[in-house]
Amino acid sequence: MSNKIYLLDCTLRDGGYINDWEFSRGIYDAVSTELQSANVDFIELGIMGSHDADHFKTKFRSLEETPIPAKIGNSLFTVMMTGTEYKKMTIHEHDVENSVDALRYAFFKADVKEALEHMRILIAKGYKVFAQTMATFQYSESGLTELVKEINKIKPYAFYIVDSFGTLYPEDIKRLYHVVDDVMDKNILFGIHAHNNLQMANANAITFITEAKGRDIIVDGSIYGMGRGAGNAQTEVLMHYLNKDGEIYGEDIVWQLYTDWFADIRKQFDWGYLPEQFLVSKYKTNPAYVWYLSRKGITNFHKIKEILEQIPDEKRYTLFKDEVEKLL
């Protein structure tokens, strides 16, 4: 049975972890317009979050603050939120003309119960909701099966495997794909969001694509892989793969965006495979730990290794500053 493969670009959101979401309105307009021209199916416009800046960022303090690009094709627009931001915001009924099409709700294992309730409410308000299961490796197979059964009850638009710390290999993707596929409602789209700490992001995304049979799926990428920690699978590389049997996506459009806007950003900021991001994967820790240590002036590989390997397992999924201070 054939299936539909959708492509989602998350540059304006995941890329913001690199430059604090300091994308100009010019970049925002160019990316959101040109990715539509390139036939990208979902375009993530940014992330919901608090800040005090008086200029444009792709971190939005409310859904109403999020500029909705003019539609020139069939692309749908998304933003991401967490439970923390959900609880700060007033979210009105979905306005088809003046709001994003979909909300990507990201949650860790510790917050599943709360996340399910929040997503249920968002779905009732008329939003297409993506359930982003952060650090999916933390779930046992039975635990993941039970989560998916709960997901079936609320029926989100999509459910995701998220390799938050870049720890997974293709064989892990195959196993997780079938754990989820065996129990998940076929009407729920199944997605993957891969990170590149082990240089596996594209391989894992392609493994997910080839493993999918009879289920519609979504694969995430970002322009030149710009994203948190070691970055993501590259949108342009995924396009090249998906175009091998006939052109679907405009690769050249994405390369032009890179040339016009992102080549200069690349000169200012580092992302991609880096020694410290390898350690994030090895010790299955949130990349925020490496960021925090760098703010403390700690960039030596062996010093970072020494600290990360001492962080308790139950505190690795998100940044606990007091734990770092204690180790320092």
Query: Where does a domain end: 268, 289, 317?
Result: 268
- Looking at the structure, tell me whether residues 291 and 145 fall in a common domain: no
Average pLDDT over residues 143-152: 98
Query: Where does a domain end: 268, 301, 317?
Result: 268
- Looking at the structure, tell me whether residues 73 and 222 fall in a common domain: yes
- Looking at the structure, tell me whether residues 281 and 264 fall in a common domain: no
* Percent share of the chain, pLDDT over 90: 96
- Looking at the structure, tell me whether residues 185 and 202 fall in a common domain: yes
Q: Cα(first)–Cα(last) distance of the chain, in Å?
A: 55
pLDDT at 270: 87
- pLDDT tens per residue, range 165-195: 999 999 999 999 999 999 999 999 999 999 9
Cα angle for residues 291, 60, 58 (degrees, 5° grid): 60
Q: Please spell the DSSP secondary structure of 186-243, one letter per residue.
A: TTSEEEEE-B-TTS-HHHHHHHHHHH--SS-EEEEEBGGG--STT-B-BHHHHHHHHT
Q: Is the pLDDT of residue 159 over 90?
A: yes
CATH number of the domain to which 36 belongs: 3.20.20.70
Longest CA span, the chain:
56
- Looking at the structure, tell me whether residues 120 and 241 fall in a common domain: yes
- Looking at the structure, tell me whether residues 191 and 286 fall in a common domain: no
Average pLDDT over residues 61-66: 95
Q: Is the pLDDT of residue 138 over 60?
A: yes
| Residue located via tokens 């890179």 | 258
pTM score of the predicted model:
0.94
- Looking at the structure, tell me whether residues 94 and 241 fall in a common domain: yes
pLDDT at 2: 64
Question: Pick from 119, 60, 68: which is nearest to 95 by CA?
Answer: 68
- Looking at the structure, tell me whether residues 222 and 253 fall in a common domain: yes
pLDDT at 1: 45
- Looking at the structure, tell me whether residues 313 and 252 fall in a common domain: no
Rounded to the nearest integer, the mean pLDDT of the chain is 96
pLDDT at 245: 87
Residue 159 tokens, joined: 């459910």
Q: Is the pLDDT of residue 158 over 90?
A: yes
- Looking at the structure, tell me whether residues 53 and 201 fall in a common domain: yes
- pLDDT tens per residue, range 228-264: 989 999 999 999 999 998 999 999 999 999 999 999 9
Torsion of the alpha carbons at 130, 202, 195 and 68, rounded to the nearest 10: -40
Write the burial class of residue 53 (CB in 10 Å: 0-12 exposed, 13-18 middle, 19+ buried).
exposed
How many folded domains does the chain comprise?
2
Q: Within a 10 A sphere around the Cβ of 57, how many other Cβ atoms? A: 21
Q: Which backbone phi and psi does 267 adopt, to 5 degrees?
A: -75, -20
Average pLDDT over residues 218-227: 98
- Looking at the structure, tell me whether residues 143 and 173 fall in a common domain: yes
268: part of which helix (H) or strand (E)?
helix 263-268
Query: Where does a domain end: 268, 299, 319?
Result: 268
Q: Output the 3-class SS for 43-100.
A: EEEEEECCCCCCCCCCEECCCCCCCCCCCCCCCEEEEEEEHHHHHHCCCCCCCCCCCC
Q: Confidence band (pLDDT; 50, 70, 90) for 53?
A: very high
- Looking at the structure, tell me whether residues 282 and 263 fall in a common domain: no
- pLDDT tens per residue, range 15-51: 999 999 999 999 999 999 999 999 999 999 999 999 9
Q: What is the residue range of 236's domain?
A: 5-268
